[in-house]
Amino acid sequence: MRSEREMLDLILGTARGDDRIRAVVMNGSRVNPNVPKDMFQDFDIVYVVTDVRSFTADHSWVDRFGERMIMQMPDEMEDPPPEAAAADTSTHFAYLMQFVDGNRIDLSLFSVERAQEIEEDTLRVLLLDKDGMFAPFPPSSDAGYLPKPPSAKAFADCCNEFWWVSPYVAKGLWRDELPYAKEMFEHYVREQLTKMLTWYIGMRTGFSVSPGKLGKYFRRCLEPELWDMLIATYPDAVPEDIWQALFTMGDLFRRVARPVADHFGFVYPLGDDQRVSTHLHHVKALPRDTKQIY
């Protein structure tokens, strides 16, 4: 596996040898002082260039970065579609490259005209600036990625969605429709739990700590008891295990949502919680041959 120094020398050497590349910025986890360093971290690189299309006219130019395992060019994909802000491929284009030696480069090309957008990111280090187009960057910080306190509406919507979708999981389990039940559980219901856990951690830390993308740092942010509850919400494909995970998820959601509500002066919908929770247990106990829910 090529070392960090070897990779940076390659990235900067490419930029120095190409007059179209006017600046190089590194962002992402490698410049985040609060992220543990390891061998899986990407090299998130921005090349500020004079003509994006001169690069994208022939993608073979990226071969110089090494033998690839696989590459993705999200701006050329239909599913998933490119983000709206990145849809103009004349001013922005990204190459996501995983190499056979384990290294990965996420390389974005930005036109000089869009260079100011790079300065909006708080996680960035200026590696090369041929024309002095950037003022010195302040120290890299994850301040721009910290969670924000919820509004009363956001809190209410999160609670409503969590308890609204939970019966979908129960319905899928009773019908023995496991793909449907798992999708509802793992996508729609868990998304709201993740949101509430993020607010809970923010409440306890003054919104000064990032729980990471998709809650990847939850383990170091939550009390051990809550972490154990969270882990128990990841079931296999056994229906009984999914039922128990669903009940645990409801308990955990309630456990963190109520102090969040108290802290911000919101109203926790305890009635919705109690009625839906009772319904879930009722559906679990329904005989397979029943013709009526109640």
The residues near 107 (Cβ < 8 Å, ≥ 6 apart) are 45, 46, 47, 62, 65, 94, 95, 96, 97
Residue limits of CATH 3.30.460.10 in the chain = 4-144
The model's pLDDT over 248-283, given as tens digits with 9 standing for 90+, comes to: 999 999 999 999 999 999 999 999 999 999 999 999
pLDDT in tens, 176-235: 999 999 999 999 999 999 999 999 999 999 999 999 999 999 999 999 999 999 999 999
At residue 80, the pLDDT reads 78
Of 195, 161, 167, 191, which Cα lies nearest the Cα of 181? 167
Model confidence pLDDT, tens digit, residues 48-103 = 999 999 999 999 999 999 999 999 999 999 887 776 555 588 999 999 999 999 99
Predicted TM-score of the model (pTM): 0.89
CATH number of 146-285: 1.20.120.330
Q: Where are the alpha helices (DSSP H) in the chain?
A: 4-16, 52-56, 152-174, 178-183, 190-205, 218-221, 224-231, 239-264, 270-285
Average pLDDT, stretch 153-161? 98
Q: What is the pLDDT of residue 88?
A: 80
What are the residue ranges of CATH 1.20.120.330 in the chain? 146-285
Q: Output the CA torsion sign for 182, 188, 193, 195.
A: positive
Distance of CA 280 to the CA centre of its chain: 30
Domain 4-144 belongs to what architecture?
Answer: 2-Layer Sandwich (3.30)
Other residues' Cβ atoms within 10 Å of the Cβ of residue 69: 13
Rounded to whole angstroms, the Cα distance separating 215 from 124 reads: 22
The mean per-residue pLDDT over the stretch 127-150 comes to: 94
- Percentages (nearest 5) of helix, strand, coil residues in the chain: 50, 15, 35
CB 42 within 8 A of CB 65: no
The predicted pLDDT at position 234 comes to 97
